[in-house]
Amino acid sequence: MAFNTLVSTAELAAHLGEWRIFDCRHDLAQPDLGERQYREAHIPGALFAHLDRDLSGPKSGKNGRHPLPAPDIFGAWLATQGVRNSDQVVCYDAANGAMAARLWWLLRWVGHDAVAVLDGGMARWTSEGRPVSAAAPQPSPTQFSVRLRPEMSVPVDAIAKSLRSRVLLDARAPARYRGEQEPIDPVAGRIPGALNRFNMDNVRANGQFKRAEELRAAFEQVLGSHAPSEVVSYCGSGVAACHNLLAMEVAGLSGAKLFAGSWSEWLADPARPREKG
């Protein structure tokens, strides 16, 4: 049985040594923090995936803060990490899955469906007294075949050309969506016409995802009659947006797409319209 959305700590514990595990802990304000935490203690057998180095491509100054990696380069990185097309992969982060969801989405993008996020992350794992390790595995390189699904991602030019016909879903906090605050990007606001679903509303206080039926009701309240396949998810840089896409999958609302460049790419061109309020 393949897991393709969430996996519990008990399920992961039962398959240690069998599944490929990635630690995706990351702090946008301290980009090296997650890797330091990994070196101190991680789930046994886990490898580290760095958001900036491994899960993003080169920045041009106009393609956003976390552009997508080239599919062949990402596939080659997976091969160096010992990932095979037949493997079950589990991604985790500190707790809520917002960082881990980026790797979850990328693997699906290159055609790997057997990938799930650890529900509750490292926080839940350690709170249950489960084992941790400081040993960094040395995987044997493998062959990983990329089967790209380009339709999962929508480029900025396509968004701009069909702006009024798109159902854009902004995953940022309401104050950032309204343009009242902008702690990261140089300009506050949103893409015109976008709806808002704060990705942290997908989880409970302990970092575990809410029940599928609860998530479904919440997304349907925001999206109204729009089908999931009409939805394009974005955020500040294409990370939190993946968390909303994961939550939609958990809720049984499949088919939404990602605008990976998100707000940080959109605002790089001052000619693109912006909205506040």
24 annotated active-site: no
| Three-point CA angle 26, 237, 235, nearest 5° | 110
Residue 190 sits in the same domain as residue 114: no
Cα–Cα distance for residue pair 60/13, rounded to 1 Å: 41
Give a yes or no: residue 125 inside a domain. Answer: yes
CATH number at residue 202: 3.40.250.10
pLDDT score recorded for residue 122: 98
Residue 30 sits in the same domain as residue 96: yes
Residue 171 sits in the same domain as residue 261: yes
Give a yes or no: residue 32 inside a domain. Answer: yes
**12 is in which domain, residue-wise?**
6-149
Distance (Å) of CA 264 to CA 140, 159, 227, 239, 272: 37, 14, 26, 12, 12
Residue 252 sits in the same domain as residue 173: yes
Give a yes or no: residue 273 inside a domain. Answer: no
Q: What is the widest separation between alpha-carbon atoms in the chain? A: 53
Give a yes or no: residue 126 inside a domain. Answer: yes
Structure tokens belonging to residue 19: 């599944």
Q: pLDDT tens for residues 128-161?
A: 999 999 999 999 999 999 999 999 999 999 999 9
Edge-to-edge strands, sheet with 20-23: 6-7, 115-118, 89-92, 20-23, 47-48
Query: Average of pLDDT values for 85-91?
Result: 98
Collapsing DSSP to helix, strand or coil, 152 comes out as: helix
Structural domain ending residue among the three candidates 85, 117, 149: 149
Give a yes or no: residue 110 inside a domain. Answer: yes
Query: Average of pLDDT values for 70-97?
Result: 98
Cα–Cα distance for residue pair 198/190, rounded to 1 Å: 13
Cα–Cα distance for residue pair 197/201, rounded to 1 Å: 8
Q: pLDDT tens for residues 17-57?
A: 999 999 999 999 999 999 999 999 999 999 999 999 999 99
Q: How buried is residue 64: exposed, middle or buried, by Cβ count under 10 Å (0-12/13-18/19+)?
A: buried
Give the count of domains, the chain: 2
Residue 119 sits in the same domain as residue 206: no
